[in-house]
Structure 1
Amino acid sequence: MWGKILGACFGFMFGRIVGLFIGLYLGHMFDKSLKKNFDKAGGFSNLFKGDDDINQRQALFFSSCFAVMGHIAKSNGRVSETHIRAASLFMDEMGLKGDDRKEAQGAFKAGKEADFSLKETVYDFKERFARRHDLLQLFLEIQIQMAFSDGVLAAQEKELLQEVSKHLGISKTHFAFVLKRYQAEFSFRQQQQRYQQQQNRQQGQSSSYREGSGHHVPPNNGMSRTQALALLGLNNEASERDVKVAYRKLMAQHHPDKLVSQGLPKHMMELAVKKSQDIQSAYEYLKKAA
């Protein structure tokens, strides 16, 4: 618009009527080029992105996550009581109540339907979070957690998890890495529960805090070096440097505030906190055992 106006004015000044038309044409070409570049940059929508954009991403993560969880829970043809209990516990951990809980239950139920499209749901999710690799990985970890809720990964569940991983653009090698890491995490949490139950029986409710952090650090009583390394995704040949690199990378991937700013629903922030605590616990153990 302004290109046409200015082009016409300058053209008229230097060439009267003929100059006006030449200036108008050149201004039109300038406006067209400017608009094309502006649209490519996102147009006016980029000027108004903010909380609404984050809210939309969080809503998509929330609904997609519970829908895929429901689909995986029904991989054997029916949803077991263990999976229902696990989904309910997951909602409790997130503090979901009222409409938020109903929305989660509705998405979980939708994932169980015969006409649910896993490929389309995960593809749409990936398109929205394409450059947020940490969120894509956390999404996969949540699905692995659902599949492992009964302590056993059935063949059908593993096939679905591999399909989810493929649609997310995660390689087979990295899927195997994430799966192995979660198995170590699952084993560690079971050990924590047994230890905590024993402590409660002996001396009542107790908890430990890492000095100066204010963050709860789960007890690591009985943790072996092999288990701690596996939780960090490492094997027994790992060096001290390998441990530090793996620890820093995993802590960065699971940083709660960063994940929430990228689109993780605030309700799910506790999940990232717990994963960070497990990683911290394993690292602290390895530092002391060194």
Structure 2
Amino acid sequence: MQVWGKILGAFFGFLLGGPFGLLLGLFLGHKFDKARSIVYQRRSFAGFGGNQASSAERQAEFFHAGFAVMGHVAKAKGRVTEDEIRVASDIMDRMGLHGESRRQAQNAFRDGKEDGFPLQEILGKVRVGFAGRADLVQFFLELQIQAAFADGSLHPSERQLLHVIARSLGFSERQLEQRLRMQEAAFRFQQGSFNQQQGGFQQAPTKDQLTDAYEVLGVKDTATSQELKRAYRKQMNEHHPDKLAAKGLPPEMMELAKQKTQELQAAYDLIRKEKGFK
């Protein structure tokens, strides 16, 4: 977050014009800070995916873009509330971010909240920079969906913005709506008796939880054992942490991928046990 323009503007404005000068200097300093923030964002992504970018640089850019776009989604309802900030903090906690990496995530989140945030430019560079790595781009989209759904509901303005993000990343409306249904089911699945830390259910699942388990895997509850296996293998292949890491997933985000595979495994095991699949 840029603040020096406000500080200096207010200081010199007060010296030259008293209280009125302070207010004018604060206003001009705010405009200067916003302009600097936009320039910084554009420079940060100027080499996104370029031939000269190292693997570590690409990972850092992906990390920054992920949290910056998350901040932009959080502002979709008009202003960022304490709930949106808590959601972002919860995701950072799930990733195990501390120290410098957490500070970088927080700064990126703030960048996304700024007026004039270059959303389309950044999304275009994510898509081009990771062309041929569809699973990684899908992870980026799912990160935004998880953040939007983390409070248990999806505001119409958030849904509309997610459609913009999905389209810019190369996903169809149908693909996004399917991911939204899967994430909504995953949210309910996690809120049930499924324990993320222990990777299983602590008590007998309900009929609704069984229905959510099918939705988590992206299949109907009428799916055959073969259809279930294919869906499970496909989802595990797309979200496997080692595969995503090989394609450039930042190490700070690996924990989310691990948690997703635990969730997929639990959903698959639940259906197999309840339906008697082998």
| TM range, smaller chain | 0.7 to 0.9
Q: Aligned equivalents of 1:260 and 1:284: distance in 2?
A: 25
Contact kept? 2:96, 2:255, Cα under 8 Å: no
1:263 equivalenced with 2:271 (yes/no)? no
How far off is 1:96 after superposition?
1.8
How far off is 1:92 after superposition?
1.8
Q: Which residue of 2 aligns with 1:248?
A: 233
Correspondences of 1:119-268 after superposition (within 5 Å): 119-192=120-193, 208=198, 217-219=199-201, 221=203, 222-224=205-207, 225-268=210-253
Contact kept? 2:166, 2:176, Cα under 8 Å: yes
1:95 equivalenced with 2:77 (yes/no)? no
Rg larger in structure: 1
Contact kept? 1:132, 1:262, Cα under 8 Å: yes
Deviations 1:121-172 (A, max 9, x none): 1111111111111111111111011111221100100011000000000111
Q: Aligned equivalents of 1:285 and 1:228: distance in 2?
A: 7
Deviations 1:22-66 (A, max 9, x none): xxxxxxxxxxxxxxxxxxxxxxx98xx9xx732122111100000
User: What secondary structure does 1:159 align onto?
Assistant: helix
Contact kept? 2:123, 2:168, Cα under 8 Å: yes
Contact kept? 2:149, 2:183, Cα under 8 Å: no
Q: Which residue of 1 aligns with 2:35?
A: none
Contact kept? 2:55, 2:248, Cα under 8 Å: yes
1:80 equivalenced with 2:81 (yes/no)? yes
Q: Which residue of 2 aligns with 1:60?
A: 61
Deviations 1:232-282 (A, max 9, x none): 111122111110000000000010011111111111111011110111011
Q: Which residue of 1 aligns with 2:71?
A: 70
How far off is 1:78 after superposition?
0.8
Contiguous gaps of at least 5 residues in structure 1: 1-44, 197-205, 209-216
Q: Which residue of 1 aligns with 2:33?
A: none
| Deviation larger for 257-266 or 162-171 | 257-266
Contact kept? 1:220, 1:281, Cα under 8 Å: no
How far off is 1:98 after superposition?
2.1
Within the candidate set 260, 266, 270, 1:275 is matched to 260
Q: Aligned equivalents of 1:266 and 1:232: distance in 2?
A: 25
How far off is 1:287 after superposition?
1.2
* Distance of aligned partners of 1:256 and 1:116 in 2 relative to their CA distance in 1, 3 Å threshold: same
Q: Aligned equivalents of 1:105 and 1:231: distance in 2?
A: 29
Moved over 2 A (4+): none
Contact kept? 2:74, 2:80, Cα under 8 Å: yes
User: What secondary structure does 1:137 align onto?
Assistant: helix
How far off is 1:176 after superposition?
1.2
Amino acid at match of 2:212: Q
Percent identity at matched positions? 44
- Report the count of equivalent residues: 223
Q: Aligned equivalents of 1:207 and 1:70: distance in 2?
A: 27
Q: Aligned equivalents of 1:220 and 1:140: distance in 2?
A: 31
Contact kept? 1:147, 1:157, Cα under 8 Å: yes
TM-score (norm 2): 0.76
Amino acid at match of 2:68: A
Q: Which residue of 1 aligns with 2:272?
A: 287
